[in-house]
Structure 1
């Protein structure tokens, strides 16, 4: 199954408004590096970057050389024709989502993905919102619609499946680094 880690709107201007920005960014960095380690492609969406600024270079750098960046004006990444067509053209079947804001852009992206018959996993420790109650309600609704909502380590250990996986040692080092 072809998966994509889609990092939604991790722009500094939005991070400043999050009550737990440092923790969130650290967990997202972990997820980005774990995805790369497991050869899962990583892409970033940016809400109106020409007005609100791009994703921070240190976050982008974790995705490797020339990370995929999608500018958008829609709240759902998949409501943007170019993003949706790019994901479809890659044969992506499973979106793994991190970023913000859980109750707005993450929620709408997940809804559109589910409606497009994509499997959706929400990395719960890699999501945030200005109002935690709104985020909790959005996550509950998405779970009822079939999205998986689990912490990033749970998901990446599941993808490793076995200590015999060639990336296991590197992954456990990464886990310790971001503990």
Structure 2
């Protein structure tokens, strides 16, 4: 369970123009929309949010809809596991052990990052509704493997409502409108 937004941080992995172009069209919009809601809720609740770009010279930059919401510059990488990049390691907030992952592709960068973070002692949460692979078989295989490896597979609404904890207050009202839209 996500105990508190003060323990969480969000990592958006490689939702870049050229990767988005090769994803199943019916699914990628849902992933981008879910990631957008997550980023906005994180911002409202002051949960740090980082994003990576896999070889941006070749794969382009993060899609505009998300990039406009993200405050920090992208962490460029060539390694599949984000943890293999020193800039990523130094960006993580050490006092926040719960790391929520969304992005592309589930069976490559999400999987390798989640397993490396777990091995480093972090509590890792992968958002099934905000991750995707080119092949649905690869996505489902990665989700099953993540569960077997002890990674928590969840969804954006569960995370957000665990952060909120109660249906009250200004944050709840703002975020509830975000989720409904």
TM-score, with length taken from structure 2: 0.90
For 1:170, the equivalent position in structure 2 comes to 174
For 1:62, the equivalent position in structure 2 comes to 69
8 Å CA contact 1:76–1:109 kept in 2: the answer is yes
For 2:16, the equivalent position in structure 1 comes to 11
Please say if 1:40 is aligned against 2:47.
Answer: yes
Question: Cα RMSD between the aligned structures?
Answer: 1.5
Q: Residue 129 of structure 2: SS of its match in structure 1?
A: strand
For 2:138, the equivalent position in structure 1 comes to 134
**Gap runs ≥5 in structure 1:** none
For 2:82, the equivalent position in structure 1 comes to 77
Please say if 1:25 is aligned against 2:29.
Answer: no
Q: Residue 7 of structure 1: SS of its match in structure 2?
A: strand
The total of aligned residue pairs comes to 174
For residues 137 and 51 of structure 1, what CA distance do their matches in structure 2 show? Answer: 27
- Deviation of residue 103 (structure 1)? 0.2
Aligned counterpart in structure 2 of residue 120 of structure 1, from 121, 124, 131: 124
For 2:3, the equivalent position in structure 1 comes to none
Q: Residue 168 of structure 2: SS of its match in structure 1?
A: coil
With 117-126 and 164-173 compared, the bigger mean Cα shift is at 164-173
8 Å CA contact 2:36–2:65 kept in 1: the answer is no
For residues 134 and 58 of structure 2, what CA distance do their matches in structure 1 show? Answer: 20
With 111-120 and 16-25 compared, the bigger mean Cα shift is at 16-25
- Deviation of residue 91 (structure 1)? 3.2
Superimposed CA distance per residue, residues 153-173 of structure 1 (whole angstroms, 9 cap, x where no aligned partner): 011111111123441111111
- Deviation of residue 16 (structure 1)? 0.8
For residues 97 and 29 of structure 1, what CA distance do their matches in structure 2 show? Answer: 13
For residues 146 and 95 of structure 2, what CA distance do their matches in structure 1 show? Answer: 23
**Gap runs ≥5 in structure 2:** 1-5
